[in-house]
Structure 1
Amino acid sequence: MAGMVFMAHSMVNNGASVTIRYGRRLEKNDTPKGILDPAAAARRFQLRRHAPPPALAPLVEYLWIVEWDLRGLPASTQRVLPYPHAHLVFEAGLTAVHGIVRGPFDKALAGQGRALGLRFRAGGLRPLLDGPVAALTGRVVALDDLLGIDGTGAERHVLAAQGDDAMIAAASDVLAPLVAAAPADPRIDVAERAVQAAAAEHGPVSVAALAQAAGLPERGLQRLFRDYVGVPPKWVVQRFRLQEAAALLVNPASPDLAALAQRLGFFDQAHLTRAFTALVGRSPLEYWKSQRQAH
């Protein structure tokens, strides 16, 4: 998949996690989820997160800006574990709407560049579409084709802006008219609450448990996720549990993988190892060892 999509739980800035609210900045010490190998990632790029301006808030969860400067350095690849959210990304020559990526996402970084993305709320893209969000899963679609926006002009307008505030204002210029015209849809809130329930630490480890937490029947939850989120509830539950595993394996303490598998709802350690390796590219033990070396 082309383009730049950093679907991080929180941003990385010189090794620390930083959340930027609209108009103010809050420091945190959380290990970022979604971004693999966070210690090395902090040396490759800066990723800043901003709350949306009021005009975008009904449909957009936050905006992110990523910048990298590897001039004179070898190119590198950053792996991201995507979240169940669609993104609108402005990047030179690659501006598009990105549906949810089912597998890992690898982004090659070289030279110098920057991009701005808008992460939609879970279900937030649905009012802008003619059909279910699932129709976009695994796809990258030009703004002209999907939203009726002049993608070339929008890209030029956003990327010509200097500084985060100016880029955010330019992105709002592009999307705010569509957000204002979109009908209010209470199902967005229902979808968002269900995804947040899945994302909670020690969260549900089965679709039945997620349905109970969301207060919905399982079939209703399946329909909601297809129409508004874009992937099935089972995918969302397992993705968050695997992200939780990756975040825990940054800890230098020797991991008890059998206990971790049980905690996260996997049948056994072998099941966890297969799922983790397929997504991350390394076994849990190999990933833990790599993080010890990084520190």
Structure 2
Amino acid sequence: MVRDARELRGAWATFQTHRYAEPAPDLAPFVSGYWFAEWDLRGQEPYRQKIVPYPSVHLTFREGTAVVRGPERGHVVRVLEGRGRVFGVTFRPGCFRPFLGAPVSTITGRSLPAAEVFGPGLPGGDVGEVCGPGLPRGDVEQVEAFLRATLPAVDPLAERAAAVVALVRAEPGLTRVDALAERSGLGVRRLQRLFADHVGLGPKWVIRRYRLHEVGQRLAAGAVVDWARLADELGYADQAHFTRDFAAMFGESPTRYAERYPAGEGDRRH
């Protein structure tokens, strides 16, 4: 299959833009941030947008539709065509469970109408009303006002789950579930239940995702990588297992994936 040249070396930036904003302090316990994407492919072929997975739930607004998207186990591809825009709320890993009122694992790999979770009164309906270019605070505040009106009761387990995920992200040396259980003061089975209920993905998956995220960052920065040594650092039995894991999550080999980015971009968007 011939590769779309628009995937390479940041060429996707010629027809799409991405912007990000932080949540208000009172919403930060639940929301990690807001994002906005806009594209203009008029006169061009549709583009296959690769989206890599994180252990997060998103609330997205696009073309008059609000959708809750559960965490994904692997990369997904969304086809972009014509002209469009989408605004999203990213919830902290582990902190959507109080909104959902059910284990997050019940929506892993699924999308559902946002009204099924939040009820009526979702803001706007057209993403243009919710978020304009540059994510001006006035537009973000529409969504924040709605979230404040629907905030659930404090859930100590949600915060604990979020703290464990943050620990995984912050400490590259954590590569095993038993080590994570010990560091978090939980037994392995209790840790697995906490993640199924509040994160929607298992602790082994979360560990693997953040260690592979570090690989993407190194590749995008142009680092020369000793693959066998790196696989060992990340806790893999050998280089082949590491490469298979990366391809399963990102859809292609590490070096091929790195070709998508100019130096320094990392794997945040594509």
Relative to the length of structure 1, the TM-score reads 0.78
Distance between the aligned counterparts of 1:193 and 1:93, measured in 2? 35
Aligned to 1:159: 128
**Is 1:215 matched up with 2:153?**
no
Residue by residue over 1:168-204, the C-alpha shift from the partner in whole angstroms, topping out at 9 and shown as x without a partner, is: 112123322111xx11112222111110111125241
**Deviation of the 1:70 alpha carbon:** 2.6
**Deviation of the 1:225 alpha carbon:** 0.5
Aligned to 1:139: 110
One-letter amino acid of the counterpart of residue 171, structure 1: V
The 5 A counterparts of 1:177-216 are: 177-179=149-151, 182-200=152-170, 202-216=172-186
Q: Tell me the matched-pair count.
A: 256
Secondary structure of 1:77's partner?
Answer: strand
Distance between the aligned counterparts of 1:269 and 1:41, measured in 2? 30
| TM-align CA RMSD | 2.6
Choose which of 20, 32, 50 in structure 2 pairs with 1:79.
50
Distance between the aligned counterparts of 1:290 and 1:53, measured in 2? 33
**Deviation of the 1:50 alpha carbon:** 1.1
Secondary structure of 1:68's partner?
Answer: strand
Runs of at least 5 residues in structure 2 that lack an aligned partner in the other structure: 1-6, 266-270
**Is 1:172 matched up with 2:141?**
no
Aligned to 2:228: 258
Equivalent residues of 2:9, 2:260 under 8 A apart = no
Distance between the aligned counterparts of 2:223 and 2:156, measured in 1? 44
Residue by residue over 1:1-27, the C-alpha shift from the partner in whole angstroms, topping out at 9 and shown as x without a partner, is: xxxxxxxxxxxxxxxxxxxxxxxxxxx
Distance between the aligned counterparts of 1:99 and 1:266, measured in 2? 28
After TM superposition, the runs of 4+ consecutive aligned structure 1 residues lying more than 4 A away are 288-293
The 5 A counterparts of 1:5-20 are: none
Choose which of 130, 134, 141 in structure 1 pairs with 2:101.
130
Residue by residue over 1:76-115, the C-alpha shift from the partner in whole angstroms, topping out at 9 and shown as x without a partner, is: 2221211101011111144210000111021222222211
Distance between the aligned counterparts of 1:58 and 1:263, measured in 2? 32
Aligned to 1:52: 23
**Deviation of the 1:289 alpha carbon:** 5.8
Equivalent residues of 2:39, 2:83 under 8 A apart = yes
The 5 A counterparts of 1:101-120 are: 101-120=72-91
Residue by residue over 1:128-177, the C-alpha shift from the partner in whole angstroms, topping out at 9 and shown as x without a partner, is: 122111111111010222221355x6423x53244522321121233221
Q: Which moved more, 1:247-256 or 1:257-266?
A: 247-256
Secondary structure of 1:155's partner?
Answer: coil
Aligned to 2:250: 280
Instruction: Pick 1 or 2: higher relative contact order, CA cutoff 8 A, min separation 6.
Output: 2
Equivalent residues of 1:78, 1:106 under 8 A apart = yes
Aligned to 1:68: 39
Distance 1:98 1:37, change over 3 A: farther
One-letter amino acid of the counterpart of residue 261, structure 1: A
One-letter amino acid of the counterpart of residue 77, structure 2: D
Runs of at least 5 residues in structure 1 that lack an aligned partner in the other structure: 1-35
**Deviation of the 1:38 alpha carbon:** 7.0
Distance between the aligned counterparts of 1:92 and 1:207, measured in 2? 41
Secondary structure of 1:249's partner?
Answer: helix
Secondary structure of 1:230's partner?
Answer: coil
Equivalent residues of 1:143, 1:150 under 8 A apart = no
Aligned to 1:31: none
Equivalent residues of 2:67, 2:112 under 8 A apart = yes
Query: Percent of aligned positions with the same letter in both sequences?
Result: 38
Equivalent residues of 1:82, 1:103 under 8 A apart = yes
